[in-house]
Amino acid sequence: MLELSGVSHVYPNGTRALDDVTLSIPKGMFGLLGPNGAGKSTLMRTIAGLQAPTAGSIRFGDIDVLAEPDRLRRTLGYLPQDFGVYPRISAQAMLDHMAVLKGIGDAKERRGVVEHLLNQTNLWSVRGKAIAGFSGGMRQRFGIAQALIGDPELIIVDEPTAGLDPEERNRFLNLLAGIGENVVVILSTHIVEDVADLCPRMAVLAAGRVQLEGAPRELIRSTAGRVWQRTIPHTQLPDMQAAHEVISHRFFAGEIVVHVLADERPEGFDPVVGGLEDVYFATLAETRRAAPAQAA
């Protein structure tokens, strides 16, 4: 269990990226959903012990993360949003090197670990190729391979599917799903489907605060009977937004399908079974209403 209590972070320039975040994250896949700038990466780096928050505490099992970051690191697998450098050495050699850094000193054991990870992440056939030449999807799978070295009990993946094509995204999510239920996996993302597809528990982070937390299924149920749909010409969208609480809209066959949140059926709308997207956009709309400047 990962426990965050009152975690806040204010950057030196005054930006309050995290504001009193309190969360209990159980074993299994946990989705942290939020728009760009919500504070997700700051939170991921903070949990990983790479950045000290300005207030609050974090515990993972019996580890006090802020006091004992080295202890956490031994049991942590981290896939940052951006690796930064992609070396010109092969995936196999790089994993071997990273396994040394993770403390696997025995060469034979290391070879076994690296081979297993290359197979698990479907990179065996390209193990001899330079990572610099990998596609986005291959890089992300390599990122998971390195995060899994040493059987971590806490795995953090930050925005892993951004920029992947649908096939690679599926591959990647399948890989995450197979990691196992006995570890805490935090999936930070702004893509609602990633969470809907994979995570039995989730939280929405916006403007540095936890706006919503729970099981996606229950959260979806909480909007039952309050989401309504209508298809309109796109020119009518501004009027619609002025008249209703529009939580989402998408183009379909040249028109716009709008979803609105309302306790009673608005004139001309049909009831629709809401999804996690509706829950998410409704939460963001409420956040914006509460603090327009921050959540813009």
Ligand X SMILES: Nc1ncnc2c1ncn2[C@@H]1O[C@H](COP(=O)(O)OP(=O)(O)OP(=O)(O)O)[C@@H](O)[C@H]1O
Footprint on this chain of ligand X (rule: CB under 6 A): 11, 13, 15, 17, 34, 36-42, 159
Shortest CB 17 distance to ligand X, Å: 4
CB 11, min distance to ligand X, A? 3
Least spacing, CB of residue 33 vs ligand X, in Å:
10
Nearer to ligand X, 40 or 230 (CB): 40
* Shortest spacing between CB 19 and ligand X, in angstroms: 11
Cβ neighbours of 156 (radius 10 Å): 24
The token duo for 157 is 């993946």
When the beta carbons of 148 and 295 are compared against ligand X, the nearer one is 295
Angle at 30 between CA 99 and CA 76, to 5 degrees: 20
Residue closer to ligand X, measured from CB, 136 or 150: 136
Q: How far apart are CA 197 and CA 84, in angstroms?
A: 28
The total number of residues written for the chain in this structure: 296
Alpha helices in the chain (DSSP H): 40-47, 69-74, 91-101, 107-120, 136-147, 166-177, 192-198, 216-222, 237-243, 276-290
**Which residues are 191's β-sheet partners?**
none
- Nearest approach, Cβ of 209 to ligand X (angstroms)? 12
Strand-pair partners of 9: 18
DSSP state of 14: S
Q: How far is the CB of 52 from ligand X (least distance, A)?
A: 13
Rg (CA), the chain: 21
CA distance 204 to 184: 17
Q: Check: CB of residue 165 under 8 Å from CB of residue 17.
A: no
Cβ proximity to ligand X: between 15 and 241 the closer is: 15
* 55 or 101: CB nearest ligand X: 55
Toward ligand X, which CB reaches closer, 41 or 140?
41
Instruction: Give min distance, CB of 172 to ligand X, in A.
Output: 17
- CA–CA dist 148, 155 (Å, integer): 8
Residue nearer to ligand X on the CB measure, 11 or 151: 11
